[in-house]
Amino acid sequence: MKLAAGTPTPRPDFAHILAMSDRRGTFEHAEFASPRPEHGYCTDDMARVLIAAVRHPSGEAAVDGLVHLALRFLVDAQAVGGGVRNRMDRHGHWEDRPKVEDAWGRSIWALGTAVAQADDASVRMVAADQLARAASQRSVWPRAMAFAALGAAELLGALPDHAPARALLVDAAAGMPRPTSDAAWPWPEPRLTYGNAVLPEAMLAAGVVLDDATLRQQGLDLLGWLLAHETADGHISVTPAGGGGVGEMGPRFDQQPIEVAALADACARAATVDASTSWPAGVAAAVDWFLGDNDTRAVMWDPATGGCFDGLEAHGVNLNQGTESTLALLTTLQHARRPVSAAR
């Protein structure tokens, strides 16, 4: 059930991520709260670890250690040409070849965030160099380019003369899928799939950095539609893992924490460029989803471990506490623990 009214928002607790980590990285999967080393590690998750860790106030030695662990993993994952491997087995052997897919885009997002927010100058320098190499590539996948756009925009906020990041952001902006003219379904794809909120967030980020008012407004409009579409009876009800299209009504299940976190990220960014109260409210609704204000009134985190459950099901929760889900909880709580930035 939902936590009692007035219960304080939990502080971001990295204990479970630390328990899921060893000297190589953070294991991807868990059986309940125990890591499953046999499934190894992935770059997608290590990029998320870096983002969450550098967003955390510096000074906690264990979390600062995660910054270095994740950065080292991302450096190793990247090939000389800028492509990125995604899967490493428990013994430290890569299982795939460098590609320019989501792991590439998420790596750039994480590296740009490290440049913008890490306190350690050596971390910022390494991250900027690695991003410059990755930015020589372009992906055919819209979400990969959207993740990359977020990283390029983050870096340019700190280093506005970084030419590789600017070139990447310009190309990403030019290729972003734009809203349709259908007011009932402005989404630029026939179905919502995964990481949906990253598309309007990338439009916002690129629109601000490139001073493109049209792109910025399209991002706000598309995010507003998505937030309304994924709200039911006053609470968040995100598109499930199987996706959703025109006329498919909720609630539908196997809802993933990462989708809620993407909404929180996008709403937090929107609040920096637009004064509408809907954006802080969107962040608050995302936090409340984890605390039990969702379609089944199920609390989605384990106070004993700090971990997050892997999915919201029709009759409860998936009790495994994987890395992706726990990081989704952490990054959402990070927005809740600091004031949402006021529109400039």
- Whole-number percent of the chain with pLDDT over 70: 96
This prediction has a pTM of 0.96
Torsion, Cα 221 226 231 235, to 10 degrees, reads -90
Contacts (Cβ under 8 Å, ≥6 apart) of 92: 24
Any long-range contacts for 281-288 (C-beta under 8 Å, 24+ apart)? 282/227, 283/332, 283/335, 283/336, 283/340, 284/336, 285/231, 285/235, 285/236, 286/236, 286/260, 286/261, 286/332, 286/335, 287/9, 287/332, 287/333, 287/335, 287/336, 288/235, 288/236
Would you give the DSSP letter of residue 33? T
Q: Strand, coil or helix: what is 170?
A: helix
Q: For residues 87 and 42, is the Cβ–Cβ distance under 8 A?
A: yes
* Closest to 90 measured CA to CA, from 51, 52, 40: 40
Cis peptide before 251 (omega within 30 of 0): yes
Torsion, Cα 35 38 41 44, to 10 degrees, reads -90
* Closest to 115 measured CA to CA, from 183, 184, 169, 165: 165
What is the phi/psi pair of residue 87, to 5°? -115, 125
One digit per residue, pLDDT tens: the chain, 344 residues? 455 445 678 999 999 999 999 999 999 999 999 999 999 999 999 999 999 999 998 789 999 999 999 999 999 999 999 999 999 999 999 999 999 999 999 999 999 999 999 999 999 999 999 999 999 999 999 999 999 999 999 999 999 999 999 999 999 999 999 999 999 999 999 999 999 999 999 999 999 999 999 999 999 999 999 999 999 999 999 999 999 999 887 789 999 999 999 999 999 999 999 999 999 999 999 999 999 999 999 999 999 999 999 999 999 999 999 999 999 999 999 999 876 555 64
Could you read off the pLDDT of 125-167 as tens digits, one per residue? 999 999 999 999 999 999 999 999 999 999 999 999 999 999 9
